[in-house]
């Protein structure tokens, strides 16, 4: 199999792929980038490992169900969005290999047979693989949100790429709900995005820059809490030493925010 790249994806707001009107239209550029992603891959992935900002556990925890359900981890949206289904199969054998790789790296791993796909996973996957015919395994973040640990878990998982597994980190390049809808997020989103655009492409020293992300311009305005940034660390760690490029970028998300996604490898 051909080695797969990795991605950090901005996943948008709530269940946007199942909505209409202005909120759906606000995601048009993001949707176009996600729809185009499969054609950019060297070959069709045999499976997807999804690291979502919306799952944190005491240990890195992997979803082991062969038929994952749905977790509607959002509020205030139309009733039909609490009935949507993304019926991708799981892959218990891949899940066990993920846990074994994490443990072999000296990091804590756990298994969860009941967890369903959260919206960080299914709202990203629905435009990418609408047929839901690629197996998906979801992996949690680890509480404490240590960037070095998440870079390390990415390094541990890098061998999966040679076996046709596409590693996706699903978060958001700007995630501060207090600033997102009132216009106050425009300037910090521009400043932090500019830092990402400069910090990510060159792999030389990238890990150190990411470990010190909180020192970047407007860092804590862009991420008052860093759970939506940590999937980036996993994607970058799994492609250490490889160049990165911006795969999605816009400057008017939700009326003025700058948002981006990145490809590694």
Indicate the range of 29-43, 80-94, 170-184 predicted with least confidence.
170-184
Q: If pLDDT is split at 50, 70 and 90, which confidence band does 5 have?
A: very high
Mean pLDDT value of segment 123-144: 98
What percent of the chain clears pLDDT 90, i.e. is strictly above it?
96
pLDDT at 180 over 90: no
At 34 the pLDDT is 98
In sequence order, what DSSP letters do the residues of 112-173 get, joined into one string? ESS--B-HHHHHHHHHH-TT--S-EEEEEEETT--HHHHHHHHHHHGGGGGGTEEEEEEE-S
SS3 2: coil
Q: Facing residues of 7 across strands? A: 168, 263
Which tokens hold the place of 180? Answer: 């997102």
pLDDT at 125 over 90: yes
For the chain, give the mean pLDDT: 97
At 255 the pLDDT is 83
Which tokens hold the place of 43? Answer: 């070959």
Q: If pLDDT is split at 50, 70 and 90, which confidence band does 159 have?
A: very high
Which tokens hold the place of 248? Answer: 């999605």
Mean pLDDT value of segment 157-178: 96
- CATH numbers and ranges of domains, the chain: 6-264 (3.40.830.10)
At 155 the pLDDT is 98
At 197 the pLDDT is 98
Q: If pLDDT is split at 50, 70 and 90, which confidence band does 1 have?
A: confident
| Element holding 238 (H helix, E strand) | none
At 177 the pLDDT is 85
pLDDT at 178 over 90: no
Which tokens hold the place of 41? Answer: 């891959």
Which tokens hold the place of 101? Answer: 């790789």
């Amino acid at each position: 199999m051909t080695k797969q790249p990795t991605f950090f994806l901005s996943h948008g707001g709530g269940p946007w792929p199942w909505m209409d009107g202005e909120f759906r239209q606000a995601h048009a550029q993001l949707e176009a980038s996600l729809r185009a992603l499969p054609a950019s891959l060297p070959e069709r992935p045999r499976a997807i490992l999804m690291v979502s900002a919306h799952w944190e556990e005491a240990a890195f925890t992997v979803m082991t169900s062969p038929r994952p359900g749905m977790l509607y981890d959002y509020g205030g949206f139309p009733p039909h969005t609490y009935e949507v289904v993304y019926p991708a199969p799981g892959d218990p054998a891949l899940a066990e290999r993920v846990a074994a790789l994490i443990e072999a790296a000296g990091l804590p791993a756990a298994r969860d047979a009941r967890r369903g796909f959260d919206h960080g996973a299914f709202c990203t996957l629905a435009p990418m693989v609408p047929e839901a015919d690629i197996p998906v395994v979801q992996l949690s973040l680890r509480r404490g949100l240590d960037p070095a640990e998440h870079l390390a878990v990415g390094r541990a998982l890098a061998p999966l790429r040679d076996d046709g597994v596409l590693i996706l980190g699903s978060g958001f390049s700007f995630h501060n709900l207090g600033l997102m809808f009132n216009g106050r997020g425009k300037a910090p989103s521009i400043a932090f995005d500019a830092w990402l655009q400069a910090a990510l492409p060159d792999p030389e020293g990238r890990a150190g820059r990411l470990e010190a992300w909180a020192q970047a311009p407007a860092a804590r305005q862009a991420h008052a809490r860093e759970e939506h940034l940590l999937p980036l660390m996993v994607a970058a760690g799994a492609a250490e030493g490889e160049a990165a490029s911006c795969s999605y970028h816009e400057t008017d998300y939700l009326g003025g925010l700058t948002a981006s996604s990145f490809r590694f490898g």
